[in-house]
Chains A and B, each alone.
Chain A
Amino acid sequence: MTTKNRETSETPNQQGDAADTSLVPRDPLTGDAILPRTQPGYYAGFTTLSQQSFWDAATRKVIDKRVNHQPPIRFFNPTEASFWTTVFDHLIPQTDRTPDHRIAILPTLDERLYHDRTNGYRYEDMPHDREAYHLAFDAINQEARSEYRADFISLPYLQQDLVLKTLHDGEPKAAPEIWKQMSVHRFWLLLIGDAIDIYYAHPWAWDEIGFGGPAYPRAYIRLERGEPEPWEAEEQRYDWVAPDHAVSGEIEATHEFYLESVQHRSHRRKHERLP
C-alpha cells in the first residue's frame, strides 16, 4: 500500500506535558490518553516534505524558509510574547504532537506585525492590527483577573480556555472600555485567522490533514473519488476526543444566519440572526 516505507516513525513520545494526561486527547471508548505523536491525523507517515525535489525552485525556497528559518521576535516584548504563545496553545492546541514536532505560531505573527503587513483592509470598528493585539493583551488579562483573580498566563489551562471562550462567544465581561474600541468578533476572527494562516501553512500540518501540497510542475493526476496520488497516503482514521481540561472540543454549527454581518453575533442576540 502507499503508506509503507514512510520516513517518519510513529513512536509515541512520553516526555513533556504528555505526562499530564488531562491535557492530551483521549480514546472515546477506553478513555485512555492518546500519547503525543510526531504526526497526528489520519495519514500516518505521509510527508509532503519528502516530495520537495518535485517542486519548483521558488516554492522550495519559500517552504524551506518557513520550516527552517524562524524569524526573531521583534514586535512583542517578552511578556507579550509568552502571553500570546500561551493563547495560541489554546487556539491551536498541540499537545497531541511531540514537543519537537510542534509548529511555532508566534514568530510568524511577530514578523507580520513588525513589518506592519496587513490583509489590506481594516474594519471601521477595528483599530490597526498592531493596536488590536496591544489592546487585546490588556482586555484578556482584565477578563482573567476579574473572573479568576490572576493574570491570564498564571491560570490553569482550563481556566485560560474559559477566558478565551468568552471572546469566542462574543461575550467578555471585563474591559468594556476596550471592547468599545474594537469589535470582539472581528478581533476573534483576526486572532484565529492569524493562527490558521500560520499553522496550516506548515508542511507538517499538511501531512496531518492529508493535503498534497505543491504540485507544480508534477501535477495531480487522480482527480476523482478522492483517490490519493501514488505519492500520497490512504486515510486511516482513529477516534479521539478533546482532552478533559479543554472546552474548545465542542462544535456548534449555526444554521440560522444568512448574512456575513450576523454569522458571528453572540448567543444573546440570536433573535437577530434571521435577516
Chain B
Amino acid sequence: MKKPLLGSFEPPAAGNKHMLGALQHIHLPMRRFKELEEVDYVIVGVGSAGGVLLQRLARAGFNVVGLEAGPFWDTERDWVSDEAGSHDLYWEDPRVTGGTDPLAFGSNNCGKGVGGGSVHWAAFTPRLHPSDFEIYTRDGVGTDWPITYEEIRPYYEQLELEMPVAGPAYYPWGHPHGYPYGPHPMGGVGNALIRGCSALDIPVCIGGPVAILSGSHGDRPHCIYRGFCIQGCKVGAKASTLITHVPDALHSGAEIRDNSMAARVSLGKDGRVNGVHYFDKDGREHFQRAKSVILCGYAIETPRLLLNSACPGFELGLANSSDTVGRYLMAQAGTVVLGRFDQLVRMYKAPPAHALTEEFYETDPKNDFARGFAIQTVGPLPAAFGKQMVSAKKAWGWGLRREMMDYNHWASFGLLGEILPWPENRVTLADEKDRFGLPIAHVSFNLHENDKRLIKAATQKTIEVMHAAGATEVVHEARYAHLVGAARMGSDPRTSVVDKFGRSHDIANLFICDGSIMPTQGSANPGLTIQALAARTADYLISQARTIFTGSKRDMTTPPIRRELAPPDTWGKGVPRFTHLLSAGR
C-alpha cells in the first residue's frame, strides 16, 4: 500500500479542541444558561440564517440560546470524504410528499446539525436581481417583496465579505458588482460550460460566485478541489455558518443546545410567546423561557412548528390568522442536463459549483412565460450520477453498469429556474408522528402553466449549450432544488405571515428568519439571500433594543447596517474591488 512520506494521515490528538475544518478549532464548553432563566432570545435552528442571527445578537450583548435539532459537529471526527457516509448531514426525519409534482427531500433539502443546510450546500452565492423584488409590478405574476433590492444590497455586500465569496472582479448580471476573493480555477465541467456558452455567444461567469476560499483566510485553508462539497467540507474552505459565524457567537457568550428538537412555541395569556418546549437527545421534554422567539428551522420545519403550536386563539396554527402559514412554498426547477464527451472529464474533481450564466434570468417578451432561469455547473458523485442515468436513460442491469463505466466521460449542468409562489403548494400536518410524537409535515406541490413552460424552455436551452460544448450525447433528469417560502413576508397581514423585518403580524415578540419568509425566489440559489436577511433582521432587533421584550409597537424604520458586529476576521481580509459600491450602501 502506498504511504505518504511522513506516514499515514492521523487526526489531531483529542483534548478539548473541537475541530471546525482542518485548522480552525474552538474550545468547548461554552456558556450554559439555566432553563429557568429567562433569556432574551431563543433561536430555533442554527442553520444558514440561525447561525448569523445567533452571532449578531450575542455580539450585541443579548442573552441568546440556539436550539438545534442536530449535533454540534466536530468536522474531523464526524465528517467523511464519502457519498454514502454523509447521511447524517441531512434532515432525514420522516415527511410525506405529494401533489401532482411531488418534491424529493432527504439529501435534497435542509440540513440537520449546527450550520444546517450551509454544511451541505454547494455554496453558489449569486444575489437576487433588483427585478426579483417586484415581479408582480413588472410581470403581473407572483407578488412583490415588502423591500427593494437597495434595502438588502448592503447586506449582500457584507455577507459576501463574511463568508467570503470568490468570484470575478466584474459580475455583469442584475446589479453589477465584484467579489472580494478571486475566482477559482476551472474543472472539467466548468470548462464544458465555457465552451458551450462561448460557442453560442452566451456570456458566462467562471470561478464563482461561490462561498469557497480561493486563497486561505484566517485559520481557514483554501479549497483543495476534492469535490465533496455537498458531503460537508472537511477542509474548512467552503463557508458554513458553523465555521464563519458560530465560533464568534460562542465567543460572544451565545449558547447552542444541540440535539434539541423544538416541539412547540408557548403562548402566554398576554398574547405574547414566552418560550419553547423541546426534546433533548433522550426524548426528555424541557422548556426554555425567553423574552422573544425566533424561528430559523427552514421552509418545512418552521411552518410545521407553527402548525404544531396551535393553541386556543390560534386554532389554525400559531401566527396563522391569515391562513398563510405553510402556503406559497417554492422550489426551483433544478433539471440536470448530462452530456457525454469523447474526452475524459472526471467531474468529481473541483467543487460542483464553479461556473454559471444568468443570461436568461430576466423576463423576455419573446418567451411564452414570465421570469427566467440560470445555468450552472453541477458535479454528481457516482451514486447520484447512477440515479440520474436511471431517470434520464431508464438504465438498469447491464445497461446501467455500462453507463457507469463511462462516468468519467460525462459533464453535467443544472438549470435553476424560477417557480412562482402558489397558495396550494403547501406544508400541512400529516396523521403520522415522528419519534417524539410530533405530527410530521405533509408537503403538496403542483406546477402551474408558467412553471411548466419555463422548465421546458430552460431544459431545451441547457441541452443546446451542452451540445455546443461538444457533447456527443445529451440526456436530462428533471428535478427540483432549494425550498423556500411557506411563511412569507409582506405588508398585508391578511396575505402574509411576517412583516419586512421578520416579525409575525399576529404576535409582537415572535420572529421568523430563514428561507421560509421569501415571497418569491428568482433563479438565484437562496443561501446568500437567507443569510443577508438574517443580518438585516439582527440589525432591526438590535436597533429596537429591549422594546421588543415588552412593547407591541411596530417601528417600521429601517436601521442602518452595523458592520462592526461582523465576525472580527471580516475586515482587512480580501480585496473588495468596488469600494464605491460598498460605501454607497452605508
Chain A contacts to B: CB under 8 angstroms: 25, 40-42, 49-59, 62-63, 66, 90-93, 96, 117-125, 161, 164, 168, 189, 192-193, 196-198, 200-201, 205-206, 208-228, 231, 235, 240, 242-243, 246-255, 257-264, 275
Contacts and interface: CB of A to CB of B under 8 A. Distances in A.
Nearest to B452: A275
B348 interface: yes
B350 A220 contact: yes
A211 B80 contact: no
B581 interface: no
Contact of A55 (B81, B98, B397): B81
Nearest to B443: A121
B98 A124 contact: yes
B143 interface: no
Interface in B68-116: 76-85, 87, 90-102, 104-107, 109
A261 B100 contact: yes
Interface in B347-398: 348-350, 381-383, 386-387, 390-398
Contact of A92 (B7, B382, B400): B400
Contacts of A212: 346, 348-349
Contacts of A58: 11, 76-80
B346 A258 contact: no
A119 B107 contact: yes
Nearest to B334: A260
23 contacts: A49-B1, A53-B3, A57-B11, A58-B11, A66-B84, A91-B396, A119-B104, A120-B95, A121-B97, A164-B396, A208-B404, A210-B408, A211-B381, A214-B80, A215-B226, A215-B228, A223-B186, A223-B188, A235-B344, A242-B397, A249-B402, A251-B394, A251-B403
A104 B473 CA distance: 32
A93 B402 CA distance: 11
Nearest to B404: A209
B475 to A, nearest CB: 5
Contact of A200 (B96, B382, B392, B442): B382
A257 B93 CA distance: 31
A58 B226 CA distance: 16
B227 interface: yes
B234 A216 contact: yes
Given A59-B81, A263-B477, A119 B106 contact: yes
A225 B226 CA distance: 16
Contacts of A221: 225
A264 B392 CA distance: 9
Contacts of A253: 392-394, 473, 475
Given A200-B383, A220-B227, A123 B399 contact: no
Contacts of A42: 405
Nearest to B225: A220
A57 B74 CA distance: 13
A214 B81 contact: yes
Contact of B191 (A197, A218, A224, A275): A224
B235 interface: yes
B185 interface: yes
Contacts of B11: 56-58
Contact of A51 (B2, B22, B78, B187): B2
B335 A120 contact: no
Contacts of A219: 224-226
A198 B321 CA distance: 47
Given A53-B3, A209-B408, A223-B188, 18 more contacts: A51-B2, A53-B9, A58-B11, A58-B78, A63-B85, A119-B92, A121-B97, A122-B95, A123-B98, A125-B98, A206-B382, A217-B22, A220-B226, A222-B349, A224-B185, A249-B399, A260-B478, A275-B452
A122 B400 contact: no
A138 B363 CA distance: 52
Interface band, chain B: 35 or more
B410 to A, nearest CB: 10
Contacts of A121: 94-97, 104-106
B394 A168 contact: yes
A224 B95 contact: no
Nearest to A170: B394
B179 interface: no
B398 A242 contact: yes
A66 B402 CA distance: 24
Given A121-B97, A210-B408, A216 B188 contact: no
B382 A209 contact: yes
Interface string B7-51: 111110000000000100000000000000000000000000000
B447 interface: yes
A52 to B, nearest CB: 7
B23 to A, nearest CB: 11
B218 interface: no
B193 interface: no
A52 B2 CA distance: 8
Contacts of B228: 214-216
Given A25-B398, A56-B234, A242-B398, A209 B2 contact: no
B106 A193 contact: no
A261 B447 CA distance: 10
A251 B94 CA distance: 34
Nearest to B347: A226
Given A224-B186, A251-B399, A56 B478 contact: no
A93 B82 contact: no
A223 B185 contact: yes
Contact of A210 (B82, B392, B407, B459): B407
Contacts of A240: 402
B2 A54 contact: yes
A118 B94 contact: yes
A192 B390 contact: yes
Contact of A264 (B10, B391, B405): B391
B480 interface: yes
A52 B392 CA distance: 34
Contacts of A197: 84, 383
Contact of B94 (A55, A120, A168, A250): A120
Contacts of B335: 258
Contact of B96 (A25, A124, A223, A247): A124
Contacts of A119: 92, 104-107
Contact of A261 (B93, B102, B191, B345): B102
A56 B390 CA distance: 32
A225 B188 contact: yes
B391 A263 contact: yes
Nearest to B460: A258
B343 interface: yes
Contact of A50 (B2, B382, B394, B404): B2
A132 B476 CA distance: 28
A211 B407 contact: yes
A35 B92 CA distance: 42
Given A56-B81, A123-B102, A211-B407, A224 B187 contact: yes
B95 A215 contact: no
* Residue from the set B100, B381, B480 with the largest chain A CB neighbour count within 10 Å: B381
B478 A259 contact: yes
Given A216-B235, A221-B225, A250-B399, A59 B188 contact: no
A120 B93 CA distance: 5
